Chain A
Amino acid sequence: MSDLTNNDSCGTSCGCADSTPQTYWQDVENKVLDPAVLKAEFPEGEYEAMSSMKNRRSFLKIMGFSVSALPLTGCVKIPVKKALPYLNKQPDTIPGVANWYASTYKDMPILVKTREGRPIKVEGNALSQTTFGGANAQAQASVMSLYDSSRLREPKVASKSVEWEEFDSQLKQHLENSEGEVVLVTPAISSKSELAIIEKFSKKYQAKHIAYEPVSKSALYQANKITHGAYTGAEYNFENADVVVSLGADFLSTFGNGVANTKGYSKRRDAKTAKMSKHIQVEEVMSLTGSNADHRFTRSVADQHDILLGVLAGISSTTHNTKAENKDIVKIIVSELSKANGRSLVLAGENDVNVQVVVNKINTELGNYGRTISVRSTSFEKLENDNEFESFVNDLSEKTSTVIFVNTNPVYNYYNSEKLTAGLKKVKAVVSLTLSENETSNIAHYVAPINHTYESWSDTLVSKSELSITQPTIQPLYGTRMYVETLMSLMGDNTSFYDFMKSTYTGSTSWNKFLHDGVMQSASLSRVESPRSFNIANYIKNIDTKSSSNLTLSLYVKDGIGNGDFGDNPWIQEMPNPITKATWGNYFMVSPVWAKENSVKSGDILEAKIGGTTIKTVALVQPGTDKNTVGLAVGYGRTIAGKTAKGLGVNAYPFMSASNGSFTYNSSTIELKKTGKTGILAQTQTHHSMEGRDIVREATYEEYMQNPKAGNTKKAKLFHIYPEHKKDGHQWAMAINLSTCTGCSSCIVSCNAENNIPVVGKEEVNNRREMHWLRLDRYYKGDESNPEVVHMPMLCQHCDNAPCENVCPVMATLQSSDGLNQQVYNRCVGTRYCANNCPYKVRRFNWFNYDRGSETERMVLNPDISTRTRGIMEKCSMCIQRIQDGKLSAKRDRKPLKDGAIQTACQQSCPSDAIIFGDKNDPNSKISKYLAEERKYVVLEDLNVQPRVNYLTKIRNK
C-alpha cells in the first residue's frame, strides 16, 4: 500500500493514502505527512472515505483490479493520436494554459482566448470605454468563421490557382498597363492605417475608393453632414437618456454599436440602481429593441413618418396635421419628451435622409446634442455612401480598367445585381479579395483570399475617443494575406503592414501599452460637431405620410446573420432569432390580423409577387407586425457560398431600391398568395403564451417605487422531511435580472463556444432537438397585434433538491459539495429519465453523434471540455471548467477567491450585465446582495426543488 502512495502511480480511488504515520520513509518528499495536513489536501470527506478503506477488502479490490486490468491493457487497441510534442518549448505557450490577446471584432474591442495557439473564444474587452466588456453574438461566433472550411485558400487567376507572386505580377502588370479608371470597393473602414494604405494605392493608380454596405446607414451620415457638417455616424449615450423614442431603430442590435448602446441602455433599466428610463418604440415589425420597450406601437412606415412630423410639430414651431389614429402616440411622446429636455433621445432607423434630418432637428430642439448624442468630427473613416455606389454602377463601362472588391459581395447584395453584373462584364478586370468564394468572386478574373480578422493587424476607431487594435491571434490558416498587404504588394511595396502600422504609433503613444490593453483613449480624437442651422421645411415636405392599403414589404436585418456575412456560421444560423425563435433561414413575417383574414398559418409556404419577381418561402405569423407590412430578413438566399449558407432562405436584397440618394428597404408593394404547401421554420419555441402561469414576475416602475416587492409577493410554503445538507465552503448561485436582459442571445452563442455545444441543423431543430444549454424563453402578453414581450434566460437551475438526480438509475447526475448539479458524461447510459423529470426542460440529449465539422473546424473546440458522444445527456455545468480554473488560480496565488474572479461564459458575454454569478456563502459578494433583493424569486418555487438560479422581477416603466 505504501508503495502505491509513494510512487504516486495509483490512478484509482483505491484509498491508498494511509492515515497513520509511516515508520520508514525514503526521502523527505515521500515522508507521509501529518494526517491533518493530508486531510486538508482533499475535498471534504474524501480523506476519511479513503483512509477508511485500508482493509482486506480494499486490498482485494486493488489486487483484483490490478490482475484484471493488466491483461486488459494488452487487449485494448490504443488509438494512435496525432499529437506532436514541442521539441523546443514555445515562448509564451504553456500547454493547458490559455493566452489572451486584445483585438477587435467590427466595432467591439475584444479579447481572444487562445489555447496552444488556437483562438477558441472571444470575450469583450473590459478596458474599453465603448463596450465595457460586452460582445455580441456575432463576435462570439466569429471564431467559428475563422476555421470555416469553405474559406478560400489560395489566389486564383481566371479560376486557376496560382502562387501569390504570379497573382501579384499579373495584376500589377494589368494595373500599370491598362488605361482607364480603377475603383476600389471596400466595406466601411474606420482604421487609420488601412486608410493610409488605401490612400497610397489610390494615389499610385488614380483609384477611386468607394465604401459599400448592403445594409446602409448612409442617410444618417448624410443627415449629419447637413445638420452638423460631418459625414459620419452619431454616438448615443443612453445612460443619460431619461426618455428614449425610437421610430423603427433597432438600436440594441443592428442600429449603431448595439453592444455599446445596450451597455448604456441597461444601466437605466434596473430600477434598483438608477432612475429608470422610459423607452417608447414605434415600428412596423417587432424588433429586439421593440420587444424591450415600455410602450410599443405597431405602425407602418408611413405612420411612423406621420408620428415623426407630429412630434416635431409638438416640440417646435412647425405644423403638422397628425392622423387621428396616431394622435395619441404623438401626445404620449411629446409629453414625455417635454419633461426631459436634454435628457432624451430620438432615433429613427430608416435609411432616408429626410427622416434623419428631421430626427436631428428634434434632437437639436430638445437640446440632446452633447448630452445624449454626439456627432464626431470626421477624422479617419470611410463610411458607406449609397450615392457613390449608385454612380459607380451607372458609370461602369469599357473605360473602367479595374474594379477591386475588398470583402464585399455586391453581386449578391446589391439590389440591381443584373445591372451590376452587366456593367462588370464591360470592365477589363474584376478583382475580388474575399474570405470565401461568393457571387462576386465568381465573376471576377482575379480572386485572392484575405485574412480573417483574427489573422490580421488593424487599428479601428470604435468611438469618438477610442481606438482599438486588431492583432493576429494565429498564423494564417491558409495561404491568405491581409487585403492591405495585397494592395501594398500591388504597389510594389514588400514591407509588412504591421511595420507600417506600428510606425504610426510613435512619440507619446506607447505601442506596447496599446497592444496590451487593446484600446487607447485619445482626447485629441474626441472633437464633436455642434448643430448648424438649415432649412427644415425642404426635408419635411419630402416625407411621405400617406398610408397605403397595399401590403408593403419591409426588409429587416436579423440579429446574428446581419447583412448575410454570417451566413456560413453554423452557430449563428442555429441561434434562435430573439423574437421569432426561428433558426436557419428567413421567412415572410406577417401580422396575426392579416393571417386570420387570409387563413394563413405559420409554416405555410406563400408565393410573393414583388414587382416582376416571384419568390416562395414560408410564413411566420408574428405578433406585433403591422397589418399592411410583410417583414423579410436580408442575408439569405446565397447561391455561391459555403455549405452552411448555400441555398438557405430567399434573397431579399433584390427588393431594395434607391431613392433620395440612399438605399431604401421598405418601399416595395408585395402580393402574397397561399400555395397550399407547408415548409419548416425550425423554431425552438412554438408556444408563446405563459398561460397565466407564475413564471416571469413583473411589476410597473410605479408599483416598484411604492413597494420593491411589487409583483413578487407569492411565497410558497415549503417544508423538508429530511434534515438539510451541510452547505459549507463555496456555494455557487446565479441571479438573472429580467429587467435588464434584452434577449440579445449573445449568451447562447458564448455558451456554444465555451462548452462545445454541437450544431444540429435545421431538420433537427425542427424536430425540437437543439442542444443549447442556455435558451431564451420569449413570452407574449396581451394584445396580439401589439403584445408585451418578456425574455427569460433559462438554463439548468442547479436545484438543491434536483428532481433529475434521484431518478437516474446509475447516479450519472449528482449534487456537488459546492451546490452544482453535475452531469457525469462517462457514467450516463442515456435513459432520459432526468430530462423527463426536469420541470425546466433544460437537459439536452445527444440523439446522434453530431458532426463537429472538418479537422480545421474542430480546432475551435474548447480543449477543457469533452465533446459528448451519442446517447449521453448534457446540460449547463455553470462553466465548471471556469470555476475550477478560478479556484486553482486563487489556490496557486495563496489568496482567497475574489468575488467576480469567476465568470460564467454567459455572464461574461452579457452586454447588459443581466447575469450575476458568485458564491452565496460570501456575504460581501455581488450575488449575496442580489439574493437579498426584494425582487428576487425562483421559478416554480412551490415544487421545492430549490433552484440555485434566481430571477429578479421584470420592471416596466409604463
Chain B
Amino acid sequence: MSGAHVSKLRKPLVPEDKTYKEISHEILDTLEEKPSKSWLICFSISALVLTLGMLTIGYQIATGIGVWGLNKTIGWSWDITNFVFWVGIGHAGTLISAVLLIFRQHWRTAINRAAEAMTIFAVACAGLFPLIHAGRPWLLFWVFPYPNTRGDLWVNFRSPLLWDVFAISTYLTVSLVFWYMGLLPDLATVRDRTKSAFRKFVYGVLSFGWNGSNKTWHHFEVLCLVLAGLATPLVLSVHTIVSMDFATSVIPGWHTTIFPPYFVAGAIFSGFAMVLTLLIITRKVLNWENYITMGHIEAMCKVIVVTGMIVGLAYGTEFFIAWYSGNEYERYCFVNRATGPYWWAYWSMITCNVLSPQFFWSKKLRTNIPFVFVISIVVNIGMWFERFVIITTSLHRDFLPSSWAMYSPTWVEVVTFIGTFGLFFTLFFLFIRVLPGIAVAEVKSVYRFARENK
C-alpha cells in the first residue's frame, strides 16, 4: 500500500520525516529503559487505588450486598451502571481496530494498539461488576452451561443475563486474540532489539517464534482480516445484548425497542471519548506527538460529534414515544426523569452528552488539545449518568407508587467504582511499560503514505 499512488493533497500520516530505525527507537526504547519518575508515580497511585478497591470488594463479599445502598425497589444501581459504563468504554477498541481496518482507514494504525488494550482493560473492569453484584458470587459458575450432576437443572436461555455472559465473554476472547495477534510482529522486534537475555527469552516466547518471513507476514495479514471480520459484528452485538438486559424487561423506561442502536451509539461515543482521554495523556508523556497527531484527535472528535447526536436523537425519540404510546407509566417515567427527584442526573446527562460535543463543530476548538481533553472527560461523565438515569430513575418509581423509593450510594459503592479506575490504569500503565503502545510495524507500513516523492 505504501507504493500506491496518492494525491499530493493528502498529508502524510506520520508528519515528520524519519527513518524506520528512528520509528522503532522512539516507540520501543521506553521498554528497555528504567521506568521514568512520572511513570512510577502514576503507576503507584493506580495500584494504590486498585488495592483500596479490592479491599472494599473483599469487605462487601464478606459482609453482604447490604453494604451497598440498594433496597427492595432499586435492585441495581451503581453496580450495573458501572458495568454498562465500562462495557461501553470497551467499544472503541474493536471499532478502531476491526471496523476501521475493514474500511481501510490507515490513520488508525497509530492508535489502534492502545485502543485495543483499553478495550480489554475496560471489559475486565466491566466483568467485575456482574461478578460482585451477585448475592452469592461464589456460586456464579452456575451461569455457565456446563455438564453437571444436577439433573435437569440448567441455565435459563431466556434470560438476557445469560446472553450477557456469552456476549461479554465472546467479546473479551475475540478482542484479546485480535490484540495479541496484532502484537506479534512488534514483540518480535522487541525480542530482536533487546540485549537482555531475560527479555529476549520472555519476548521470544511471547512472539510465538515470529520470523518475519513473507509467509509469516501473509498469515498475519490474513488472520488480522479474519479476526476483524469476526470482531465487527461483536461491536454491534455486545452492547445490543447489554441493552437487552433492560429492553426485555417490563419496567417503564427499560422496556424500549430503541435500546440496541441507542446503546451501541452511546458505547462508541463513550469509547472514543475514553481513547481521546488516554491518548492525549500518552502522546504527551511518551512524546508520541509525531505518531498520534492532530489528525487523529480531530477524527475522533468527529466520531464523537456524530455518535453524540445519535444519542441525543435517541433521548428525544424516547420522550416522543413515551408520549405517543399513551401509556401512563411510560409517560410518567420520562417526565419523572426530567423533573423528578433525579432531575439533576438527567440534565447532567443531556448537558454532557448532547450539548458538550457540539463544540467540536468548530475546528479551532477541536484542535485545542486541553479543550478536547476536558470535553472527552465530560462526555464520559455524561455517559455514566446516562446509565445511571436509565437504571436508577426507571426503577425508583415504577408501577405501584407504594414501593417508590430513593437511592443513594454508600462509600463502598463509591470506592469500588474508583477502584475499577485503579484496575484500569494499573493495567494500562503496565501495558505501556512492557508492550509496544503503538503498533510499530503498522505505523511503518503507513509511513510512506503521501510521501512517495521523498
A positions within 8 Å CB-CB of B: 12-14, 49, 61, 64-65, 68-69, 685-693, 695, 764, 767-770, 775, 777-779, 792, 794, 803, 806-811, 827-833, 835-837, 839-841, 843-849, 870-873, 939-940, 943, 945
**Residues 48-84 of B at the A interface (beta carbon under 8 Å):** 63-66, 69-73, 75-76
Residues of A within 8 A of B75 (CB): 832-833, 835-836, 845
Q: Is the C-beta of B170 less than 8 angstroms from some C-beta in chain A? A: no
Residues of B within 8 A of A830 (CB): 65, 134-136
Is A806's CB under 8 angstroms from B142's CB? no
Residues of B within 8 A of A695 (CB): 400-401
Is A835's CB under 8 angstroms from B72's CB? yes
Contact mask B212-238 → A, CB, 8 Å, 1/0?
000000000000000000000000000
Is B72's CB under 8 angstroms from A770's CB? yes
Q: Is the C-beta of B30 less than 8 angstroms from some C-beta in chain A? A: no
Give the shortest distance, in Å, between A752 (CB) and chain B (any CB): 16
Q: Is the C-beta of B99 less than 8 angstroms from some C-beta in chain A? A: no
Q: Is the C-beta of B143 less than 8 angstroms from some C-beta in chain A? A: yes
Counting chain B residues whose Cβ lies within 8 A of the other chain, the interface size class is 35 or more
Q: Is the C-beta of B35 less than 8 angstroms from some C-beta in chain A? A: no
Residues of B within 8 A of A828 (CB): 135-136
Interface centre among B135, B158, B249, B251 (most CB of A within 10 A): B135
Give the shortest distance, in Å, between B336 (CB) and chain A (any CB): 10
27 A-B residue pairings within 8 Å (CB atoms): A61-B149, A65-B149, A685-B403, A687-B401, A687-B404, A689-B401, A695-B401, A770-B72, A806-B159, A807-B159, A807-B160, A807-B248, A809-B161, A810-B142, A810-B143, A810-B156, A811-B153, A829-B135, A835-B72, A836-B76, A839-B251, A845-B65, A870-B135, A871-B64, A871-B134, A873-B135, A945-B250
Q: Is the C-beta of B298 less than 8 angstroms from some C-beta in chain A? A: no
Give the shortest distance, in Å, between B82 (CB) and chain A (any CB): 15
Residues of B within 8 A of A764 (CB): 66
**Residues 285-319 of B at the A interface (beta carbon under 8 Å):** none
Is A832's CB under 8 angstroms from B76's CB? yes
Residues of B within 8 A of A49 (CB): 152
Is B142's CB under 8 angstroms from A768's CB? no
Residues of B within 8 A of A845 (CB): 65, 72, 75, 135
The A contact surface, by secondary structure, is loop
Is A848's CB under 8 angstroms from B66's CB? yes
Is A831's CB under 8 angstroms from B250's CB? no
Query: Which of B71, B133, B398 is A839 in contact with, Cβ under 8 Å?
Result: B398
Q: Give the nearest-CB partner of A870 in chain B.
A: B64
Is A779's CB under 8 angstroms from B66's CB? no
Residues of B within 8 A of A833 (CB): 75-76, 159, 161, 245
Give the shortest distance, in Å, between B34 (CB) and chain A (any CB): 47
Q: Is the C-beta of B4 less than 8 angstroms from some C-beta in chain A? A: no
Interface centre among A692, A835, A843 (most CB of B within 10 A): A835
Q: Is the C-beta of B321 less than 8 angstroms from some C-beta in chain A? A: no
Provide the bound-state CA to CA distance between A269 and B161, in Å.
47
Query: Which of B76, B149, B402 is A685 in contact with, Cβ under 8 Å?
Result: B402
Is B64's CB under 8 angstroms from A841's CB? no
B positions within 8 Å CB-CB of A: 63-66, 69-73, 75-76, 130, 133-137, 139-140, 142-143, 149, 151-156, 158-162, 165, 245, 248-251, 328-329, 332, 395, 397-405
The B contact surface, by secondary structure, is loop
Residues of A within 8 A of B401 (CB): 687-691, 693, 695, 779
Is B72's CB under 8 angstroms from A829's CB? no
Q: Give the nearest-CB partner of A873 in chain B.
A: B135
Is A844's CB under 8 angstroms from B72's CB? yes
Is A811's CB under 8 angstroms from B154's CB? yes
Give the shortest distance, in Å, between B88 (CB) and chain A (any CB): 20
Give the shortest distance, in Å, between A73 (CB) and chain B (any CB): 13
Q: Given the interface contacts A809-B143, A809-B165, does A837 sit within 8 Å of B250 by beta carbon?
A: yes
Is B399's CB under 8 angstroms from A839's CB? yes
Is B251's CB under 8 angstroms from A836's CB? yes
Provide the bound-state CA to CA distance between A900 and B251, in Å.
36
13 further contact pairs, Cβ within 8 A, besides A688-B401, A695-B400, A809-B159: A69-B149, A768-B405, A778-B402, A779-B402, A794-B402, A808-B159, A810-B142, A810-B156, A811-B153, A811-B155, A839-B400, A847-B66, A873-B135
Q: Given the interface contacts A794-B400, A809-B162, does A943 sit within 8 Å of B250 by beta carbon?
A: yes
Is A829's CB under 8 angstroms from B159's CB? no
Is A803's CB under 8 angstroms from B250's CB? yes
Is B149's CB under 8 angstroms from A849's CB? no
Is B156's CB under 8 angstroms from A806's CB? yes
Is A871's CB under 8 angstroms from B149's CB? no
Q: Given the interface contacts A807-B161, A839-B399, A840-B399, does A769 sit within 8 Å of B66 by beta carbon?
A: yes
Q: Give the nearest-CB partner of A810 in chain B.
A: B142
Provide the bound-state CA to CA distance between A157 and B205, in Å.
85
Is A807's CB under 8 angstroms from B400's CB? no
Is A836's CB under 8 angstroms from B395's CB? yes
Residues of A within 8 A of B398 (CB): 839, 841
Q: Give the nearest-CB partner of A824 in chain B.
A: B153
Give the shortest distance, in Å, between B230 (CB) and chain A (any CB): 25
Is B151's CB under 8 angstroms from A872's CB? no
